[in-house]
Amino acid sequence: MSKLDAAEYEIFESIKQIDELGNEFWFARDLQQVLRYTEWRNFYKVIERAMLACKNSGLSNNDHFVDLNKMVIIGSGAEKEIVDFQLSRYACYLIVQNGDPRKEIIALGQTYFAIQTRRQELADAFNQLDESNKRLVVRGNIKQWNLLLAEAAHNAGVITNEEFAIFQNSGYMGLYGGLTVADIHIRKGLSEKDKILDFMGSTELVANLFRITQTEEKLKIDQVDTVDGANNTHYQVAEKIRVAMIDMGTTLPENLPTPEKSAQQIEREEIQKLRDPQAKLMLDE
């Protein structure tokens, strides 16, 4: 670790707390400031996604996200009650995993809070999930990797919305045997506003996650610097994944069933289950 890295990691170490039993923890409000979220309501959404990920890993939220209320002094000298959480290291890890991966401070946090021993445990836990929660896990990963893919495409010269639409279409055509985004919408019976990724089962999502991660990596390794090059790379990577699926005899993505519920609907339902209907959280500005 470089001296610069050590100094930056110290940011997370400096807000670490130790309880009376010697256990380390972090306050969510402190982590919010370090991760540069200016509004609690926005950071709270990240916490909710992290809590859902904790549940999906087979662990109890009560062991990692301890909700509490604090009294703070406001400008007039009066006190105001606010919501906070006492977070375990694992809870912090899940929070930074659900943050914006383009932000340098998020990347640092992901490294700092990385728990190597959890990776295999999470993989094992994934196989125990029902189909709906498997979809949520993979869909969440895709959201982050799509941001990185968009950045890699932008660096290759894909700038305008029209260019990015063509770039995205190239990947789908390679993976779906020539079907365009519009074709897939029709095949799945989706409306124009529906997102294709929200109406994929876990198997189809995993195939698309592989398409996205491998294209992002290929664009960087080959230092692609033209729009045509980016489109061809996306198509070729996706096509190779399709060929591999054909060789293995697995069901091709366009032939996989379309779920009735969108991933967004499932996420809303799962988050609602986590909420105490009697609790009134004070989401201050």
CB 93, CB 115: distance < 8 Å: yes
pLDDT at 282: 47
End-to-end CA distance of the chain: 38
pLDDT at 131: 94
pLDDT at 118: 56
pLDDT at 62: 92
CB 241, CB 179: distance < 8 Å: no
CB 81, CB 70: distance < 8 Å: yes
List the chain residues with pLDDT less than 70: 1-8, 74-77, 115-123, 276-285
> Torsion angle of alpha carbons 133, 135, 139, 141, nearest 10°?
70
pLDDT at 69: 83
Alpha helices in 176-282 (DSSP H): 181-188, 202-221, 227-248, 263-274
Burial of 107-121, coded b for 16+ CB within 10 Å and e otherwise, reads ebbeebbeeeeeeee
What distance in Å separates the CA atoms of residue 199 and residue 196, rounded to the nearest whole number? 5
